[in-house]
Amino acid sequence: MIFQVPAGARTAALDEFLDAEGFTRQSETLIMTRGPLPDAHTPEASVEIRTDPSADWLNVWWTVDGRGGADALATATDILKGCPSLYALVRDDAGRPAAVGRLAIPAGDTAPRGGDTARRGGIYCMATLPDARGRGYGTAVLRALLHAGSVQGLDGYWLLVTVANRSAQELYARAGFRETGRYLYRQERPRRALTGC
């Protein structure tokens, strides 16, 4: 059994109970948000933007974050296509795919919740191949997605990043994202089966 538990005083009693029951703490994750871009923002000309994930895009993302074979990739691709999205890809100087990212866009007919009429996009699937890191490709992808969201009329953005991923947090902070919440997973420890021996 696994629970996703928000951090904070409101869940302190639940955390105490899960601690007593032996549930582990895993994958603490930050929720980061930012508002719309200023009008003067310009896109990265070198970034390819599409409305569907290309084979090159999928290969970069799956190489970095994928788990499983062709069947798992096919399922993940179906999930990615489950909502309107923009897919960004940047190539290195030799023309090889280097980094990717995805902007999930709220559907135009989605009714706002709680009177909030803001349209916010989600940044997902940010991935840079290991041999292409440290060259600004992730920054170019993120800037291009934020610009594309501005063109779409988005009022802000959110993303999720693990606490352990410091380099990604720094990238997002430079782009104006700030922590607005966090959560972690609480997983039940496996129990040994009773035997008749």
CATH of the domain at 140: 3.40.630.30
Q: How many domains does the chain have?
A: 1
Given a cut of 70, whether residue 123 has pLDDT beyond it is: yes
pLDDT beyond 80 at 40: no
Residue 48 is assigned to a structural domain of this protein? yes
Of 189 and 162, the structure prediction assigns the larger pLDDT to 162
> Is residue 21 assigned to a domain?
no
The verdict on residue 129 lying in a domain is yes
Range of lowest pLDDT (5-14, 59-68, 82-91, 164-173): 5-14
Q: Across all residues in the chain, what is the average pLDDT?
A: 89
Assigned domain for 60 exists: yes
d(CA 173, CA 185): 24
pTM here? Answer: 0.85
- Tell me, what's the pLDDT at 109? 47
Residue 16 in domain:
no
DSSP class per residue in 59-121: HHHHHHH--SSHHHHHHHHHHHTTS-EEEEEEE-TTS-EEEEEEEE---TTPPPSTT----EE
CA 26, CA 185: separation in Å to the nearest integer?
5
Evaluate if residue 105 carries a pLDDT over 90: yes
* 110 pLDDT higher than 60: no
**Dihedral angle computed from the Cα positions of residues 192, 194, 195 and 196, in that order, rounded to the nearest 10 degrees:** 160
Helix (H) or strand (E) holding 5: strand 2-6
Instruction: For residue 69, tell me if it sits in a domain.
Output: yes
Q: Is the dihedral of CA 168, 176, 44, 76 positive or negative?
A: positive
The residue with tokens 């989605």 is 110
Secondary structure of residue 26 in the 3-state scheme: strand
38 band by pLDDT with thresholds 50, 70 and 90: confident
Residue 155 burial by Cβ neighbours in a 10 Å radius (0-12, 13-18, 19+): middle
Give a yes or no: residue 82 inside a domain.
yes
Domain that holds residue 100: 42-108+116-154
For residue 150, is it within any domain? yes
